[in-house]
Amino acid sequence: MRLLTEVVLSVVVCLFVGSCGISAAAQGTIDPPLISWTSYSRWDRETYPESWLEHSYLEVDSLGSLYAVGSIPFDLGTSPPWEAVTLITKWSSTGDLLWSNVHEEPDIYHNPFGTTMDTNDNLYVVGSNNPAGGNAWPDWLISKISPSGEHIVSYAGDDSAWRELYSADVATDGSLYACGTVWNDGVLVGRFDFSSGTFDWLNEYFVSPLTPNQESGIKGTLDQEGHYFFAKNVNTADGKAVTGVYRLDASDGAVESFRLFDFGVGAVETVTGLDVDKDGRLIGVVWFLNATNAKLFKLDRDLNLLWSLPFETTDHSSICPRDLALSGDNRIYVSGRMGGTTTWWGSGDEAHMFTLCATSAGNLLWFDVFDPGGDTEQEGGVADGVACAPDSTQTFVVGSLSYSGTDWIRSMFVLAYEKTVADTPAAFRVESLSGDVDADGAVHASSFATASADIAEWHCVSEPVDPGDVLVHNTLHPGCLCRSGEAQSPLVAGVVSTEPGVILGERTEGECRALMALKGIVPVKVTNEGGPILPGDLLVSSSTPGHAMRRVGPDPGPCALIGKALEPMTQETGVVLVLLTAH
């Protein structure tokens, strides 16, 4: 692979005093933050004739520097494969261009579809490659780039099948987990070992053929408990595509769990962003073909749906989320495009760009529609990627702009929303985005109101647990709690809180702890083991791990009550609101 370090680029940095005041935006609970700066990079089309920017992806390293990655096809014929190169630019957290490199091989079509970084700030780019003008199939491509922009190594498939990688994650041992597609057949997932240059395991999963042209919706992510998750659209018998989510054993790729979700808006739904939050919950965003809204969703480790959040524009124009990122304080950010073409892969002509922020409980904080171009020649654009600073104080967006009648075709932009936390220490501080209040002393108030309805306390747990899990005292590890697994157990301690209104105690680093609800109303996992559940039924533990059931019989024997059901549940398993019983 050849590295060209002298790239002809035009760089512009603009400082903004406010976000663009376009009115067609979804409603949040607070105003969006200001855009503090926007920078652009444009390439000379004499160097790459008939070129344009096809994709953009964004990563942030441990120091807060930004890495923007895009694909530039050029010498475009009537149909692919075309020649293409990968553009990688590095920016400071204040919008200064640090370096810009083009990675290319002669007569090879490069198409980056995903990026990730390791703890040493090395950048990994995954996608596909294809000999231009040849008859070989495009196959997977993995490249490793140093923090200074030097090409370290690349590996590619043997062109034996049409395979492309769309998502990547690096484990703490340096292994790369990636997922993508086997064209029109299924999903490709594997763990790549850079020391040997081969996949430790590479599996193909076939549930149903992918909907044509929707294969780029394959997204995957790795948690810290040895699981790999990926989501794909799955065809149903009536021709509708719904969302299928897999949980794999990361050691060998064996399927541990699989569930289908029909989010119920469009004829086709595709997950365009997927990540695991710091508590091990799965966060995703779904795009619907030809629809005017999209949805965020949250699942627990067992793939139970905790919540879904629809969002749309007030003028009901088409909306297309392109990427999702999680901050260190568990805020959810989504970037994308609204208006223009309704397709996920569309050019974004006559489109505006958006960023939104939501809480981990599924509440929309703000929705910002912006136009970073400010150029009369600009036709539209796409906000492709979003990422957060390591200290959660800044949010960055990367994308491309479309122009008409000029030599600048879809130039890349990066922007930053202003810092959300004061730079100087204070005895009392309010974060402008999250609304968190930090006080170094006691807080005295005549009343205290919270959005959530339970009080929780940090407790030691002897195994990973999820919100809604019923907890019991672990007799093998005194002082610790674990998931229940015995019907009508007298050892019930409480329920793992989902979004507590009040938190007691402090989480200790290096210790496995969970927030157990002490009092109030909380979502609880339930099963119909004791029969259908009706409002007012008393609940006890069941034999299903972590689940409650209706108390059976007039005299169930010695057992500890969990609480009183506030909602009905007639399915095999589910989640209902429960008024807790004090223990």
CATH number of 34's domain = 2.130.10.10
The residues, ordered by sequence, that sit 6+ positions from 479 with a Cβ below 8 Å of its Cβ are 460
Measure the CA–CA gap between 362 and 415, rounded to whole angstroms. Answer: 25
Q: Is residue 422 part of a domain?
A: no
DSSP summary character for residue 217: G
Are residue 482 and residue 402 in the same domain, yes or no?
no
Q: Is residue 463 part of a domain?
A: yes
Structural domain boundaries enclosing 477 = 454-580
Closest CA to 400 of 356, 357, 347, 350: 347
Are residue 547 and residue 408 in the same domain, yes or no?
no
Are residue 461 and residue 390 in the same domain, yes or no?
no
Are residue 412 and residue 460 in the same domain, yes or no?
no
The pLDDT, as a whole number, for residue 520 is 92
The pLDDT, as a whole number, for residue 209 is 46
Residues 176-208, buried b or exposed e (16+ Cβ, 10 A)? bbbbbbbbebbbbbbbbebeeeebeebbebeee
Task: Kindly list the strands in the beta sheet with 97-104, ordered across the sheet, starting from the edge strand earlier in the chain.
Answer: 2-4, 97-104, 83-91, 66-74, 56-60
Looking at the 3D structure of the chain, how many domains does it have?
A: 2
Q: Is residue 264 part of a domain?
A: yes
pLDDT by position in tens, the chain (length 583): 323 333 334 444 444 333 333 333 456 677 888 888 988 876 655 666 556 666 689 999 999 999 999 877 665 555 555 566 788 899 999 999 999 888 766 555 678 889 999 999 999 999 888 655 455 667 889 999 999 999 899 898 876 778 889 999 999 999 999 999 887 667 889 999 998 999 999 988 765 444 433 444 689 999 988 999 999 877 766 767 788 899 999 999 999 999 988 886 556 788 899 999 988 899 999 988 767 788 999 999 889 998 999 888 766 567 889 999 999 888 999 998 887 554 444 444 456 788 999 988 888 988 988 876 544 455 567 788 899 998 888 899 998 876 655 544 567 889 999 865 443 444 555 655 556 666 656 666 666 677 667 899 999 999 989 999 999 999 998 889 999 999 999 999 999 998 888 888 766 655 688 999 989 999 999 999 999 999 999 999 999 999 999 998 766 567 789 999 999 998 899 999 999 986 6
Q: Is residue 160 part of a domain?
A: yes
The pLDDT, as a whole number, for residue 346 is 46
How many Cα atoms occupy the beta-carbon half-sphere of 179 within 13 Å?
Answer: 27
Q: Do 56 and 412 meet the contact criterion of CB atoms below 8 Å apart? A: yes
Are residue 37 and residue 143 in the same domain, yes or no?
yes
Q: Is residue 555 part of a domain?
A: yes
What CATH number is associated with residue 576?
2.40.300.10
Q: Is residue 8 part of a domain?
A: yes
User: 492 has which bridge partners?
Assistant: 472
The pLDDT, as a whole number, for residue 9 is 44
CA distances from 338 to 290, 291, 311, 316, 398 (A): 12, 11, 12, 9, 15
Are residue 315 and residue 395 in the same domain, yes or no?
yes
Measure the CA–CA gap between 159 and 54, rounded to whole angstroms. Answer: 22
Q: In terms of DSSP H, where are the helices of 162-201?
A: none
The pLDDT, as a whole number, for residue 276 is 95
Measure the CA–CA gap between 290 and 242, rounded to whole angstroms. Answer: 15
Number of residues that this document lists for the chain: 583
Are residue 141 and residue 259 in the same domain, yes or no?
yes
The pLDDT, as a whole number, for residue 98 is 93
Are residue 413 and residue 489 in the same domain, yes or no?
no
Are residue 257 and residue 325 in the same domain, yes or no?
yes
Are residue 305 and residue 383 in the same domain, yes or no?
yes
Closest CA to 43 of 412, 466, 463, 550: 412
Last residue of a domain, one of 417, 434, 469: 417
The pLDDT, as a whole number, for residue 574 is 93
Are residue 315 and residue 228 in the same domain, yes or no?
yes
Q: Is residue 439 part of a domain?
A: no
The pLDDT, as a whole number, for residue 408 is 47
> Which run of H or of E encompasses 299?
strand 293-299
Measure the CA–CA gap between 472 and 486, rounded to whole angstroms. Answer: 9
Are residue 397 and residue 476 in the same domain, yes or no?
no
Q: What is the phi/psi pair of residue 216, to 5°? A: -70, -5
